[in-house]
Amino acid sequence: MIAFSRGIHSVAVAVLLLSVSSCGGDWQESYYPTRVAAEKDGEFERGWLPEYLPASSRDIHELHRIEHPKTWGSFAYNSEDLDGMLAVVTKVDVLPPVLATISRPGSTWWPDLISGSLDMEALNRAGFELYVTHDNDMGANARGLIYLFILDRVQGRGYFFETVMPPHSRG
């Protein structure tokens, strides 16, 4: 009776594990110690990391779900290395509706303050600056994506969220 009970328990655990792994979809998370390492692995070429992250970017986290057009990321940077990125983004005080609510990706590196319905006043009080750009501004490779960059210049830390612009918003 004990052997039979153990067998059922093992089967139940295996079924539970299969159920949990198939519920979440295909999440892909990557970490790179430097931008150079991410480039060598093809993250920029595949489009999972925005090409204009500062050259000094390090401690890079990226998370996306294959079947959803959303990507979350974080990176550290040297403050004197932001010029290239700031040339292609626009500082905002009001977020476009598509970026006003950001689902939490479930990673410890993504701040709670940048999840749910974003509170611009709370973000500004916390020292964050928000910038937006779309890949329509990036020429022939445009895929209809919009990016939100959240920079903490004091800490030298940045976060980005990428999603698809609604068709009526694309220009």
Query: Domain extents for the chain?
Result: 26-169
| Per-residue confidence band for 107, with pLDDT thresholds at 50, 70 and 90 | very high
| Per-residue confidence band for 135, with pLDDT thresholds at 50, 70 and 90 | confident
% of the chain surpassing 70 pLDDT: 78
Enter the pTM of the model: 0.80
Using DSSP's 3-state secondary structure scheme, residue 95 falls into coil
C-alpha span between 150 and 128 (Å, rounded): 6
Largest CA distance in the chain: 71
Using DSSP's 3-state secondary structure scheme, residue 4 falls into helix
User: Which range, of 15-19, 94-98, 119-123, averages the lowest pLDDT?
Assistant: 15-19
Long-range contacts, stretch 100-108, CB < 8 angstroms, 24+ apart: 102/72, 102/148, 102/161, 103/70, 105/63, 105/72, 107/29, 107/61, 107/63, 107/72
C-alpha span between 105 and 146 (Å, rounded): 17
H-state helical runs in 41-149: 83-86, 120-125
Average pLDDT for the chain: 83
- Residue 152, φ and ψ in degrees, nearest 5: -110, 95
According to the model, what pLDDT value does residue 144 have?
Answer: 81
Question: Of 120, 117, 105, whose CA–CA distance to 150 is shortest?
Answer: 120
According to the model, what pLDDT value does residue 47 have?
Answer: 85
According to the model, what pLDDT value does residue 89 have?
Answer: 95
130 has pLDDT over 50? yes
77 has pLDDT over 80? yes
Residue 71 β-bridge partners = 64, 162
